[in-house]
Chains A and B, each alone.
Chain A
Amino acid sequence: MSAKKNNVLPGFGLALGYTLVYLSVLVLIPLGGLVLKSTSLTFAQFWDIATTERALAAYRVTFGTSALAAVINAFFGLIVAWVLVRYDFFGKRLIDSFVDLPFALPTAVAGITLATLYSTNGWIGKHLEPLGLKVAYTPLGIVVALTFIGLPFVVRTLQPVIEDIEPEVEEAAATLGASRWQTFRRIIFPAIFPALLTGFALSFSRAVGEYGSVIFIAGNMPLISEITPLLIISKLEQYDYVGATALAVVMLGISFVLLLAINGLQWWAANRHNNRNTGGEQ
């Protein structure tokens, strides 16, 4: 209402009304239904379902592989982002667009392809087997799938931040006698650290919920290579709706905490950025 008083533009009521109705019908009410369903359990029952041996193992697999994949993505994502922003080479723009492939390629396609590549007679798997390394149908395979899925996040969060680093700062550091490594460690890395952490968190958060690309390569052995989303599905297939709901609520809670953390990180990154910029102008 207060918006209308000092705004001549039309359509506020309609636009906001439509937004809220659509959001409620499609997102809030169904998610609320999930939480409501879990309240048919007492807390003790909920706790029992959420902490069975199989569920705990699934959390360990899910979060362990997601964290490892996010670390790999943070490391190589930083290198890829740096190379794409700072160096000139043939085909740079092509490779830059190519980085988004995991966003565009359906997860099922990624899943069957990675499973085929890393199986013992696949293009990559057959070179790993003599080394005693089994990837497909082990937790390592899950890490490979999750690395693929999370690859663009770190690169895309870091690129604009690396572009924004003012060359004068690096020049000043060099003039004052800093080695290139010192400049990176003391000047560049602190500037890009919030974005790196955001990219890590985005990659991790995407990996935690991922299903399509993982199930083909994981082997899906309970206690060893079964991820939580798959455990939810197998409960659903046994018509154990309550069990599926309890695990889904746990996952939803964790996702929500991650979303808040990411928002906080982005806010932190933006604020540091602004402070630096105004500081530079004065």
Chain B
Amino acid sequence: MSVRRANTEPAWVRYTLLTLAFAFLALFLGVPLAAVFAEALRGGWEAYFGNLVDSESLHAVTLTLIVAAIAVPLNVAFGIAASWAIAKFEFRGKSLLITLIDLPFAVSPVIAGLIFVLMFGAQGYFGPWLFEHDVKIVFAVPGIILATLFVTFPFVAREMIPLMQAQGKDEEEAAVSLGASGLQMFWRVTLPNIKWGLLYGVILANARAMGEFGAVSVVSGHIRGETNTLPLHVEILYNEYNAIGAFASASVLALLALVTLVAKTLVEWRMRAETAMLTAELPPEKTN
């Protein structure tokens, strides 16, 4: 009993810390989340749904879905390629490569947008050539996709690299030496091993792709009904003092965030259960 007491604080300290933690989380997370929905429903359900099904809002939702549908699969392909090369092979400059993959997380979203304006904008390096060939990238959908690809760049790769490194390469080597082709090995051995980690990366990348504001704002040009994603639509409505409309769109994004949190938590539990199973199987003396 006294040993147990040595590992914890006096009751009054425990309750103080619990109160501080709860107060902090309530003030910074709970209240804002509740406020999104309260503000959206301030004018009643009819006004709420009226704002959601208006054509500009629907267009913004569609564009957001299109951008995510392009950005997330590309991110997955890159994440698998990068983690395969980094986790299963040895080569020079590996740690530099890992740092460079993380680089977009360190760059301000505003700069992420700016670099594509400097590349493809009217004044940019490829601007005159694009103008001659009548290709629009900046202030158009391709620019939004590029900016989204930049800000979501590390998500899948940084989940997969440690996972694949931890799994080692014994199973794949066994598959190859038994005559499996590269594709067979990938579908039957690698993918089943990494599927939860991959899904985790996809959930995070998708949330960022759908919610990105700063980078997309710089390249979009804010053309209503054309280059407005849902977060940009929120900004426009808010700046027009249409608070109910802004919060109605914001509530859709907040719901998306909640779905993301639930999905992420479920995948985390699943991954924990699987690692627990693996480690429990390893030493046979322990289980029997």
Which among B50-58, B93-101, B191-199, B279-287 touches the partner chain? B93-101
Residue of B nearest to A113 (CB): B32
B188 — which chain A residues lie within 8 A by C-beta? none
- Tell whether A98 pairs with B185 under 8 Å between CB atoms, given A83-B21, A245-B118, A248-B114: no
Identity of the chain A residue whose Cβ is nearest the Cβ of B123 in the assembled complex: A241
Interface residue? B271 (CB, 8 A) = no
Is A68 among interface residues, defined by CB-CB distance under 8 A?
Answer: no
Instruction: Give Cα A209–Cα B102 distance, bound, in whole angstroms.
Output: 15
A131 interfacial contact with B, CB 8 Å: no
Residues of B with C-beta under 8 A to A167: 7
Knowing A15-B82, A34-B114, A174-B6 are in contact, say whether A95-B218 is a contact too (CB < 8 A): no
Is there an interface contact between B111 and A34, defined as CB atoms closer than 8 Å? yes
Q: Are the CB atoms of A259 and B99 closer together than 8 Å?
A: yes
Q: Are B35 and A116 in contact (CB under 8 A)?
A: yes
| A106 and B213 form a contact (CB under 8 A) | yes
Tell me whether A241 and B213 are in contact (CB under 8 A). no
Contacts of B161-196 to chain A: CB distance below 8 A: 169, 172-173, 176-177, 182, 185-186
A2 to B109: give the CA distance in the assembly, Å: 38
Which of B150, B177, B186 makes the CB contact (< 8 A) with A26?
A: B150
A18-B17 Cα distance, complex, nearest whole Å: 49
Q: Which residues of A contact B243 (CB under 8 A)?
A: 116
Q: Would you call A120 an interface residue if the criterion is a C-beta within 8 Å of the partner chain's C-beta atoms?
A: no
Query: Are B261 and A100 touching (Cβ within 8 A)?
Result: yes
Question: Is the CB of A28 closer than 8 A to any CB of chain B?
Answer: yes
Q: Which residue of B lies closest to A105 (CB)?
A: B257
Nearest-Cβ distance from residue A38 to partner chain B, whole angstroms? 10
**Looking at the complex, which of A41-49, A192-200, A250-258 is the stretch in contact with chain B?**
A250-258
Q: Are the C-beta atoms of B115 and A31 separated by less than 8 Å?
A: yes
CB interface residues, A 1-57, toward B, < 8 Å: 2-3, 7-12, 14-16, 18-19, 22-23, 26-31, 33-34, 37
| Chain B residues with CB below 8 A from A255, complex form | 106-108
A35 to B206, CA, bound (A): 30
Contact B91 A10 (CB under 8 A): no
Residue of A nearest to B177 (CB): A8
Complex formed: what's the CA distance from A180 to B9 in Å? 6
Is B131 an interface residue when CB atoms closer than 8 A count as contact? no
CB distance from A231 to the nearest CB of B (A): 10
Contact between chains at B108 and A209 (CB < 8 Å): yes
CB-CB nearest in chain B for A230: B110
Majority DSSP secondary structure for residues of B touching A = helix
Count chain A residues whose beta carbon lies closer than 8 angstroms to a beta carbon of B.
91
Q: Among the listed B35, B86, B115, B265, which residue makes an inter-chain contact with A113, where contact means beta carbons less than 8 Å apart? A: B35
User: Is A8 within 8 A of B176, CB to CB?
Assistant: yes
Whether B116 lies near A112 (C-beta < 8 A) is: no
In the complex, how many angstroms separate the beta carbon of B189 from the nearest chain A beta carbon?
11
Query: Which applies to chain A's interface (DSSP): helix, strand, loop or mixed?
Result: helix
Given contacts A30-B150, A112-B247, A116-B243, contact A101 B214 (CB under 8 A): no
Q: How far is the CA of A30 from the CA of B103 in the complex (A)?
A: 13
Given A106-B231, A112-B246: A101 and B33 interface contact (C-beta under 8 Å): yes
When distances are taken between beta carbons in the complex, the residues of chain B under 8 Å from A98 are 25, 29, 261
Cα of A108 to Cα of B251 in the assembled complex, Å: 11
B36 contacts partner chain A, Cβ-Cβ < 8 Å: yes
A74 and B132 CA atoms in complex are apart in Å by: 53
Does A58 belong to the interface (CB within 8 Å)?
no
Chain A CB within 8 A of B159 CB: no
In whole angstroms, what is the CA distance A89 to B150 when docked? 40
Among candidates A16, A28, A80, residue contacting B24 with C-beta atoms closer than 8 Å: A80
Task: Show 10 residue pairs from A and B whose CB-CB distance is below 8 angstroms, ordered by the A residue.
Answer: A2-B90, A9-B176, A83-B18, A102-B29, A106-B253, A109-B234, A110-B32, A113-B247, A212-B231, A248-B114
Going nearest first, the 3 A-B pairs with the smallest beta carbon separation are: A209-B108, A106-B211, A174-B6
- B contact residues vs A (CB 8 Å cutoff): 3, 5-10, 13-14, 17-18, 20-21, 24-25, 27-29, 31-33, 35-36, 39, 77-78, 80-82, 84-86, 88-91, 97, 99-104, 106-111, 114-119, 121, 123-125, 146, 149-150, 153, 169, 172-173, 176-177, 182, 185-186, 204, 207, 210-214, 217-218, 230-232, 234-235, 238, 243, 246-247, 250, 253-254, 256-258, 260-262, 264-265
Which residues of A are at the interface with B, using a C-beta cutoff of 8 A? 2-3, 7-12, 14-16, 18-19, 22-23, 26-31, 33-34, 37, 76, 79-80, 82-84, 86-87, 89, 93, 95, 97-114, 116-117, 123-124, 147-148, 151, 167, 170-171, 173-175, 180, 205, 208-212, 216, 229-230, 232-233, 236, 239, 241, 244-245, 248, 251-252, 255-256, 258-259, 263
In the complex, given contacts A9-B89, A33-B119, what are 13 additional A-B residue pairs having Cβ atoms less than 8 angstroms apart?
Answer: A7-B169, A18-B81, A26-B146, A33-B124, A79-B20, A97-B262, A98-B29, A101-B257, A106-B230, A174-B5, A180-B9, A251-B111, A263-B99
